[in-house]
Structure 1
């Protein structure tokens, strides 16, 4: 087409208004309002028992829960910001102290004399985290897909961290106060798996066109 004015006019007629994005804070709140109920519903598919908050060490478990939720919220916020050019996101260095504090408290919740026999509780923990995180992961990828990303792997890795932290938060409501060493290992393995799955699955959908 050699008539540039006609081409511009044609493209102008086909253009549709772009709906502006809400603020990052609103997007985080909206995601939490959708993702957490979905995670709770998914938890009904997994065998679980509720936490006995009257046990010694319950206060540390509550602190763990709060730290996981705060870390997850900050990671989700950072993932949303990273998907928009020019937005400043939270550095992983800023999240590291919270993660290390959660890690330290988790280690302190492991009894000195852990029982040798542990049934299959650790495997159930791993399964719970993966099942609960699946709908939240799908919602996260769908949310990031709308804005795409200049660095999709970084955005998705941060999003995966946020999803895994929210899954750990839900696990705190149906897990013994004290941890078995195998529990701790399986929790970490589940977190790594969730982050990897978020990147691998989301990389196809969250790209800059």
Structure 2
């Protein structure tokens, strides 16, 4: 399982990039949002990845953040949403925007993405509501749940917790609480350890 690539950006296409890692070029499919965040060709780049394996194919999908990768996994878990549609949705919306749309059950917003009709948009917001919770990023909820964690170490820590089976809403609340307790100078390792303790309570 390839979870991350760190190397040099060799080239960028309409829907993919090639990352040179030690002389080996990895072709990585990606959303337009991720591709625009990679920076200039020839520069060092780090990209989170998800490996898709089928009977007759193997491909890597890349993401600018662990949070975007988490959303890709959530979206492709919905019936009728394949990798292409999930990337189209992630090309059009930030993870925080998607979280707001799902929390508010705003199917019209999701339907604006390429390849997503009204019925599929309704299924996406309905099926994902229980998985992401009703927390609107940055605002918290009536129950006082912590807002979704931001980028950097917080996003990586959230990816670690969701990878261990915690729901995104649970992981977000735990990481936010841990981050508030440890402060901005906390290492990723310390953040993950404390967040795990809080999530397990």
State the TM-score, normalized to the length of structure 2.
Answer: 0.24
Judging by fraction of residues, say which structure has more strand. Answer: 2
Larger RCO (CA under 8 A, 6+ residues apart): 1
Structure having the larger proportion of residues in helix:
1
